[in-house]
Structure 1
C-alpha cells in the first residue's frame, strides 16, 4: 500500500497532551488543501496547456520514472521535460548534474502554475505518496494526462482491492485509494495482468510496454543512470570481484513485524553460508525504510545497502536473489538467475497477502522457511533446475522487449502531449437550429 500519512506520523511523535490540537490543525489543513485542490482541478481542466511533461518519482533518484525521464531528455522531444521532487537534497543533486528539476515544496506557487499548464504527468507510485497526501497538487494536475508506471508486478492486493480488508473510514487509507484511481493510463507489461491493474486502480486504459528500469538489467547503464546508484568503495570492489558469488536480499514492506529475512538470526546464518561458498550477500531495505539505522556490515560477507539507493544498475552482477515477496523478483527473472523466496505464510497472520494467484502459476522460485534455508540454497543455487520454467514465466509477464520500454512509452507521451495542445472548439450556428 502506501507509506504512513503525515497525520499518522505526527500523532506518533507528538506528546499526548498536544496531540489532539495538532491532529485538529492537520485536519483543518487537509480540509483547506482539499478545497483549494477542487478549485485548481476546475482551472486545470480549462486552462490552455503548454508543451510540458512533468516526472514524479521517489524521494531518491530511482525507479521507473527516473529511467523514462532520462530517456525523454536524451531523445530531445518537442516538449519541455522537468523532474519534480519534494526532497531538497535530490533537487540539489539533479541540478548539480545539469538535469532540469524543481522542488515543488520550496516553490509551491510556481509549481502549481506549472502543474496547471502541464500536458502530461508521469508517476511511479501513488500520488498520495508522491505528494504526502496533499490534494492541492493533485488538483493542479487534474487537466494533465496522468501516466502511472507503478513500481513492479505484484503479489500484493493493492488499493481498491484492499477495501474488503482495511478501514475505508481511515482518512489516510481513504485518500490513498482515492488518488490511486486518478490515473488516466496505467502501464501493464502483460495481458495476463490487465485485469489485476484494473481491479486495483480502476484503470480502463492500459499501455503495453516494459518497465523502463529493467533496461539496465540487459545493458550497461549510462552515466546519468548511475545518479542515485553510487555505492561505497568496499561494496563496489566486491561487486567487481568475479571470483566471489553475490546474492541480493530484498525484503518487501510489511504491515506487521519484520519477517525472518530481515532479522539478526537470518543475517548470522546467511553470513555462515556465504563463508562456506565464497559468497557475499547484499541486503537492500525497502524504500520506506529510509531514515532507519543500518546494521553493521560483515566485511567481505554481508553488506547493507542504503534503502533509497537505486540497485537496478547493479542487478545483473548478482548470482541469485532472496526475498519474501518483493516485486523485484519478477524483474530479476530477466537475468535468468535463481530466485529464492521465504515462505511468509509461516509468520504472517493476515490472509490477503502474499497472493500468488495474482501471477501465472508457472514455477519460478525456490521456497524456504527458517529451518530449510541452507538446504534449499545448497540444492538450487548452482543447479537452478527451474531455469527453463523461469524463462517461460518471464515471457508471460513481459510481452514486449524490456529494452524498448522507454521508447515505447515516449511515443505515448508524444501523442498525449500533442493531443492536449489541440483544443477542440464547437461552434454553434443559430441559423441551423430548429
Structure 2
C-alpha cells in the first residue's frame, strides 16, 4: 500500500530556505517558500502580541506561591509556552530582517554599475531551458569576453558546473564571498525559465538591476502566471510572492510569433522573442558530453537497446495533480499498462512530474514492471529514443511534435483534474495531436491498434507543429546567444 500521509517540515532560520518553485505554481509552497514569505503589516502586530504574551507568562511563572488556573501544569507549562513564543519571535525577527535586507539590496542592484556578465538561474533540476541556454552560450561568451555564471539550486548542480570549469555561485549563501556579491550586483543580464525563487533568499534582490530574459519551461495548456489566481479568502503571502515573479521581464522567449498574445495573458514583459526553446535543439542532433549532464544514462541506454532490438519504447509523461499526489497513476491503471507492454516485449518508461517524483519509491513497489526515470533528471536526450508519447496536459507533448512521432492523450480523471487541480487553456488543442482516451482499456487498445499512427493524426501533428513552432532547425541556442549579446549591449548602453 502506498503511503500518502502528509510530510511536514520546520523552518530553521539559520539554514537556507528551501528550493524555488517549479512548473505552474506548484502545490509545495510550504516546503519551498515558507522562509521567504512577506509578512507585511501583520508583523508589527505579531511582535506586540508575542511580547505581551511572553511578559505575561513570565510574570505568572514567577508567582510560584499562587495557583495559575489559566495554565494547565502550572509554572512548568508556563515556561514551556514561553520557550515556544520566544522561538517564534526569533523566527519572525529574522524573517523581517531578511525582507528589509532584500528590499535594500534591490536598490543597490539597480544603481550598481553593470559588466559583461550573464547569470543563468537553474531550476530545481538541471534539465530545462536554462541548462541548454547556458551550455549554448558558453563558447560564445568566452570568445566575446563575457562571463557566464550559473546560479545553482543545489550542491549537485554546483558540482556539475565546476566539472565543466564554468563560473558558478555557491549554493549556500553563507559561502558567498565579497567577490560573489560584486559579481551578482554587476551582472547585466539574468536568464530564468521559471519563477525566480532560489534557495539563496538574497539572489533575486542582488540581480534585480539586471535585464531579465525569461525562457519559461514549456508551452502550456494550463492557466499559469497571472491567470492562475485564487479567491481572496485563500490568498496568502506565499501566493502573492509567486505572482510577483510573473514579471516584468525585459524579454520573454517563445516558440511562435502567433503565441505572443497568449503569453501576455500570463506574464508581464517588454518584448517577445519567438526564437524557439534551447532544450529542443538536442531533439534534432546527437547530444554532446555536456548535454548528458544530469541525464539518467541507464534509462537512456535501455531505450537505445530496446529500439535497436525493434521494440516499441513508450514514454508515459503525465503532469502532476494537486490531489491524490502520485497515487492517482495507480488508480488510472499504470500497473495494467506496464504489465501488458512488458508481456508484449515493449518498454514502458514513466517520467513523473518533479512534484510527484518523491512518490517513486512507493510506486516502484506498487508497480514493479514499470521503469521510472530517475527523479529530477533531464529527459530531453532520451526523447529521440522513444517511439511514442502518452501524456495528458504536459508541455512535453508540444516539444515532441518536433520529432513527428505518435502521441496519445490519456486523461483518465479529466473532470476531477479541471475541478480540483488546474483550469485549462485548451484552445490550442482544437486539433488533437493524437487520439484522446479516458481509460486504460482505451489506451491499451489505441496502442495495440497503433491508432496514433493514422494519416489524419499525422496531419494534425504537423499542423500543430507548424502553428506552435516557427523554427524546426535545432538552432534555438544560437539564436538565444545572439539575443543575449543584444541584451548585454542594451544594458551597458544604458549605463
Q: Scaled by the length of structure 1, what TM-score is found?
A: 0.86
Say yes or no: does 1:67 pair with 2:132.
yes
Say yes or no: does 1:239 pair with 2:304.
yes
Q: Number of aligned pairs?
A: 415
Q: For residue 273 of structure 1, report the CA deviation from its aligned partner.
A: 2.8
Moved more, 265-274 or 169-178: 265-274
- 2:271 equivalent among 205, 218, 222: 205
Say yes or no: does 1:341 pair with 2:409.
yes
Distance between the aligned counterparts of 1:68 and 1:19, measured in 2?
A: 47
Kept after mapping to 2: 8 A contact 1:190/1:396: yes
In structure 1, the residue corresponding to 2:103 is in which secondary structure?
Answer: helix
Alignment correspondent of 1:415 = 486
Change (3 A) 1:259 1:101: closer
Change (3 A) 1:112 1:264: farther
Distance between the aligned counterparts of 1:190 and 1:165, measured in 2?
A: 32
Change (3 A) 1:189 1:365: same
Distance between the aligned counterparts of 1:341 and 1:25, measured in 2?
A: 51
Distance between the aligned counterparts of 2:303 and 2:472, measured in 1?
A: 31
Moved more, 212-221 or 180-189: 180-189
Alignment correspondent of 2:396 = 328
- Indicate the structure (1 or 2) with the bigger Cα radius of gyration: 2
Distance between the aligned counterparts of 1:112 and 1:346, measured in 2?
A: 49
Say yes or no: does 1:376 pair with 2:446.
yes
Alignment correspondent of 1:176 = 242
Distance between the aligned counterparts of 1:365 and 1:259, measured in 2?
A: 25
- 1:89 equivalent among 150, 153, 156: 156
Alignment correspondent of 2:465 = 394
Alignment correspondent of 1:55 = 120
Change (3 A) 1:221 1:64: same
Equivalent positions of 1:137-152 (< 5 A) are 137-152=203-218
- 1:266 equivalent among 316, 333, 336: 333
Moved more, 101-110 or 22-31: 22-31
Q: For residue 288 of structure 1, report the CA deviation from its aligned partner.
A: 2.5
- 1:78 equivalent among 131, 139, 145: 145
Change (3 A) 1:51 1:347: same
Q: For residue 165 of structure 1, report the CA deviation from its aligned partner.
A: 5.2
Change (3 A) 1:27 1:394: farther
Say yes or no: does 1:196 pair with 2:196.
no
In structure 1, the residue corresponding to 2:279 is in which secondary structure?
Answer: helix
Kept after mapping to 2: 8 A contact 1:65/1:123: yes
In structure 1, the residue corresponding to 2:337 is in which secondary structure?
Answer: helix
Change (3 A) 1:29 1:177: farther
Distance between the aligned counterparts of 1:9 and 1:219, measured in 2?
A: 38
Equivalent positions of 1:288-367 (< 5 A) are 288-294=355-361, 295-296=363-364, 302-343=370-411, 344-348=413-417, 350=419, 353=422, 355-359=424-428, 361-367=430-436
